[in-house]
């Protein structure tokens, strides 16, 4: 069964179309990275899954439960780290966790959770005195309570220092070992690359790509390259390489030992052709280095409106909708109440 299933989900806030016919499935046990620039609709998607916000049309299911009709059932199975948080109260970190553990019928000890998220020495402090990164760590701890089947993490590394970001990766690794599903949004591409099995790229409320990172690289095409170091600079080589299929850019420079270095930006398949062209041109090849597209290049390729890179979607945005939607938290359940405070619902 799919952990998450979104079918033709559209969400409009007044004249803004935050999501436009979103279709997405995340399988159980997957780590799914949800990428997109600011305002792409990532948080709105998560808010719909948690029934903090109602879709204008379409359906959202979590482990087969309709997110809008059965929010309590959904929340029982989901640990959520929301994007931002409301005013954190006078409770200490430990009290906040005790409350969450009780509400979610978790079996953890609060100190164990504090330790897990690197707050072992801070459990007696009022949460409102926490720094941004400490609050983020606590919220992650709250999301982990009760071993949820699905962890939904909205921009999880916001405010975290490098050690916190590493802790977050460990938490995700542990979740995977325990068979949990992880759905997390981010625009920190390196972190997505490090942990995600599959990535979805959201742009203007539409999913412009969804695949493994390797497959996305392959599709994105001319974003990797090859560097060939030669003994002598052959006169004709630059033009020969530039004319090859799949090569988008060529530079010829020299390294520290004054040896000519040919650098070609090209598709993965063209790398071999570049090296062969060097040999064919009679060059004495000393060294060959290849590089893959960084996820950042890939992200730009998919969100720059370059149709050849995306090869996908392209519906027009309907900006004619009206304001006003059903609001969230209609069930008022204890589980819902124990969820971390989130940003405002519909406006």
Ligand X SMILES: Nc1ncnc2c1ncn2[C@@H]1O[C@H](COP(=O)(O)OP(=O)(O)OP(=O)(O)O)[C@@H](O)[C@H]1O
Q: Could you say which residues in the range 176-215 bind ligand X, by CB under 6 A?
A: 187
# binding residues, ligand X (CB under 6 A): 16
Residue 56 in contact with ligand X, rule: CB under 6 A? no
Out of 33, 36, 82, 164, the only residue in the binding site for ligand X (CB under 6 A) is 36
Residue 21 in contact with ligand X, rule: CB under 6 A? no
**Span near ligand X by CB under 6 A; candidates 42-50, 135-143, 296-304, 306-314:** 42-50
Q: Does residue 91 contact residue 126 with C-beta atoms inside 8 Å?
A: yes
Determine the Cα–Cα distance for residues 148 and 139; give it in Å rounded to an integer: 14
Residue 38 in contact with ligand X, rule: CB under 6 A? yes
**Span near ligand X by CB under 6 A; candidates 38-46, 72-80, 156-164, 265-273:** 38-46
Out of 39, 58, 246, 311, the only residue in the binding site for ligand X (CB under 6 A) is 39
Task: Give whichever of 92 and 157 is closer to ligand X, judged by the CB atom.
Answer: 157
Out of 4, 22, 26, 40, the only residue in the binding site for ligand X (CB under 6 A) is 40
Least distance from C-beta 12 to ligand X, angstroms?
9
Determine the Cα–Cα distance for residues 70 and 142; give it in Å rounded to an integer: 22
SS3 state of residue 273: helix
Task: Give whichever of 44 and 342 is closer to ligand X, judged by the CB atom.
Answer: 44
Count CA atoms within 13 Å of residue 322 on its CB side: 3
Q: Could you say which residues in the range 210-239 bind ligand X, by CB under 6 A?
A: none
Out of 5, 26, 42, 310, the only residue in the binding site for ligand X (CB under 6 A) is 42
Order of strands, edge to edge, in the sheet holding 260-266?
Answer: 247-254, 260-266, 224-230, 285-291
Out of 10, 13, 29, 311, the only residue in the binding site for ligand X (CB under 6 A) is 13
Residue 261 in contact with ligand X, rule: CB under 6 A? no
Q: Could you say which residues in the range 99-128 bind ligand X, by CB under 6 A?
A: none
**Span near ligand X by CB under 6 A; candidates 31-39, 114-122, 190-198, 312-320:** 31-39
Instruction: Enter the tokens of residue 146.
Output: 């009760």
Q: Which of 311, 341, 347, 306 is nearest to 11 (CA)?
A: 347
Residue 76 in contact with ligand X, rule: CB under 6 A? no
Q: Does residue 230 contact residue 255 with C-beta atoms inside 8 Å?
A: no
Residue 97: count other Cβ atoms within 10 Å of its Cβ.
28
SS3 state of residue 288: strand
Least distance from C-beta 341 to ligand X, angstroms?
15
Out of 43, 56, 96, 100, the only residue in the binding site for ligand X (CB under 6 A) is 43
Handedness of CA 113, 119, 123, 127 (dihedral sign): negative
Q: Which of 40, 55, 88 is nearest to 327 (CA)?
A: 55
Out of 25, 28, 83, 318, the only residue in the binding site for ligand X (CB under 6 A) is 83
- CA angle 311/314/320 to nearest 5° reads 170
Determine the Cα–Cα distance for residues 208 and 55; give it in Å rounded to an integer: 20
Work out the end-to-end distance of the chain between its first and last CA atoms, rounded to an integer number of angstroms: 34
Residue 22 in contact with ligand X, rule: CB under 6 A? no
Task: Give whichever of 39 and 246 is closer to ligand X, judged by the CB atom.
Answer: 39
Determine the Cα–Cα distance for residues 148 and 171; give it in Å rounded to an integer: 13
Least distance from C-beta 321 to ligand X, angstroms?
11
Instruction: Enter the tokens of residue 319.
Output: 């900006």
Least distance from C-beta 87 to ligand X, angstroms?
18
Least distance from C-beta 98 to ligand X, angstroms?
30
- Is residue 244 packed enough to be buried (19+ CB in 10 Å), middle (13-18) or exposed (0-12)? middle
Task: Give whichever of 43 and 181 is closer to ligand X, judged by the CB atom.
Answer: 43
Residues that bind ligand X (CB under 6 A): 13, 16, 18, 36, 38-44, 83, 187, 344, 346-347
């Amino acid at each position: 069964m799919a952990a998450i299933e979104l079918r033709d989900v559209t969400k409009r806030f007044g004249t803004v179309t935050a999501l436009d016919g979103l279709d997405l499935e995340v399988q159980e046990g997957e780590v799914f990275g949800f990428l997109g620039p600011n305002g792409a609709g990532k948080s709105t998607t998560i808010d719909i899954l948690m029934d903090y916000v109602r879709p204008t049309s379409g359906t959202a299911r979590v482990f087969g439960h309709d997110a809008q009709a059965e929010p309590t059932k959904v929340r029982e199975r989901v640990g959520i780290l929301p994007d931002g948080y409301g005013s954190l109260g006078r409770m200490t970190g430990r009290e906040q966790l005790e409350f969450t553990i009780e509400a979610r019928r978790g079996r953890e000890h609060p100190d164990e959770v504090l330790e897990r998220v690197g707050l072992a020495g801070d459990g007696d402090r009022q949460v409102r005195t926490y720094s941004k990164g400490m609050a983020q760590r606590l919220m992650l701890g709250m999301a982990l309570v009760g071993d949820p089947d699905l962890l939904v993490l909205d921009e999880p590394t916001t405010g975290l220092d490098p050690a916190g970001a590493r802790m977050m990766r460990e938490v995700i690794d542990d979740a995977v070992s325990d068979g949990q599903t992880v759905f997390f949004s981010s625009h920190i591409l390196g972190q997505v690359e490090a942990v995600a099995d599959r990535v979805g790229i959201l742009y203007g409320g539409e999913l412009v790509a969804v695949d493994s990172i390797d497959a996305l690289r392959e599709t994105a095409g001319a974003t990797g390259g090859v560097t060939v170091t030669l003994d002598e600079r052959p006169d004709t080589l630059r033009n020969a390489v530039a004319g090859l299929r799949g090569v988008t850019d060529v530079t010829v420079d020299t390294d520290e030992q004054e040896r000519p270095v040919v650098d070609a930006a090209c598709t993965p398949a063209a790398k071999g052709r570049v090296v062969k062209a060097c040999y064919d041109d009679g060059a004495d090849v000393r060294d060959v280095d290849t590089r893959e597209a960084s996820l950042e290049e890939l992200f730009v390729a998919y969100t720059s409106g370059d149709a050849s890179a995306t090869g996908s979607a392209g519906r027009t945005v309907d900006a004619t909708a009206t304001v006003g939607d059903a609001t969230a938290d209609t069930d008022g359940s204890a589980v819902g109440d124990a969820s971390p405070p989130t940003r405002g619902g519909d406006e």
